Chain A
Amino acid sequence: GAVVSQHPSWVICKSGTSVKIECRSLDFQATTMFWYRQFPKQSLMLMATSNEGSKATYEQGVEKDKFLINHASLTLSTLTVTSAHPEDSSFYICSARATDRGVGEAFFGQGTRLTVV
């Protein structure tokens, strides 16, 4: 199956600093990647859709200046949490859709646990 690698798995940062999370498709090309946020014991909330070579599309209520997304290549998308605050602490998950693996097949990274202190 297709593999999506997300890095780092966990990160602790100080309030006010920025944190970058990487999402890589290891063995397939992904024109579209998705970024989710998951609070404890809750479902996945879509933050934004990332398209290679173009600007990301953010869901309503998600601050695009705070959550910067870059999809510079067909195998890499990054999410940067800028000026992080404790309320940004959460579990962030990316997924990638393989362009050559059929409709509907989305593969997920292992997630990143962000703690802002």
Chain B
Amino acid sequence: AQTVTQSQPEMSVQEAETVTLSCTYDTSENNYYLFWYKQPPSRQMILVIRQEAYKQQNATENRFSVNFQKAAKSFSLKISDSQLGDTAMYFCAFMPLFQGAQKLVFGQGTRLTINP
């Protein structure tokens, strides 16, 4: 069974700073996707960024980038120039590509607060 671990329950930074959220996972699969989802106070889950395991290049989406270390099974999210609207719960998620329904396995979440 796959597991996803987010070791930082809460983080807080000042606006415009850079923050890195950590995520590790455990799997015996070789083909999978990794995701970071954001859940703001509205509780709507929003996809932030996605990484295919077969790609060595780290994914980037504007201010969001990941550091994907496949051998170490690590998948951290870096938010640059943080904004007040980035305040939310962030969930790391794993999805095997060739297992049945391709279910998402979520980490425990990190509550990120951006202070003005």
Query: A residues engaging B (CB < 8 A)?
Result: 32, 34, 38, 41-44, 46, 49, 51, 57, 91, 93, 95, 97, 103-106, 108, 110-111
Total contacts A to B, CB within 8 angstroms?
Answer: 51
Q: Distance in Å from the Cβ of B66 to the closest Cβ of chain A?
A: 15
Query: B residues engaging A (CB < 8 A)?
Result: 33, 35, 42-47, 50, 52, 91, 95, 97, 101-104, 106-109, 111
Tell which of A44, A91, A97 touches B106, judged by Cβ atoms closer than 8 Å.
Answer: A44
Which residues in A have their C-beta under 8 angstroms from that of B91? Answer: 43-44
The answer to whether A111 and B50 touch across the interface, beta carbons within 8 angstroms, is no
How many Å lie between the Cα of A91 and that of B47 in the bound state?
19
Q: What residue of chain A has the Cβ atom nearest to residue B109's Cβ?
A: A43
How many Å lie between the Cα of A49 and that of B99 in the bound state?
13
Which residues in B have their C-beta under 8 angstroms from that of A105? Answer: 47
| A–B Cβ pairs within 8 angstroms, 17 of them | A32-B102, A38-B43, A43-B106, A43-B108, A44-B45, A44-B104, A49-B103, A51-B101, A57-B101, A91-B43, A103-B102, A104-B33, A104-B35, A104-B95, A104-B102, A108-B46, A110-B43
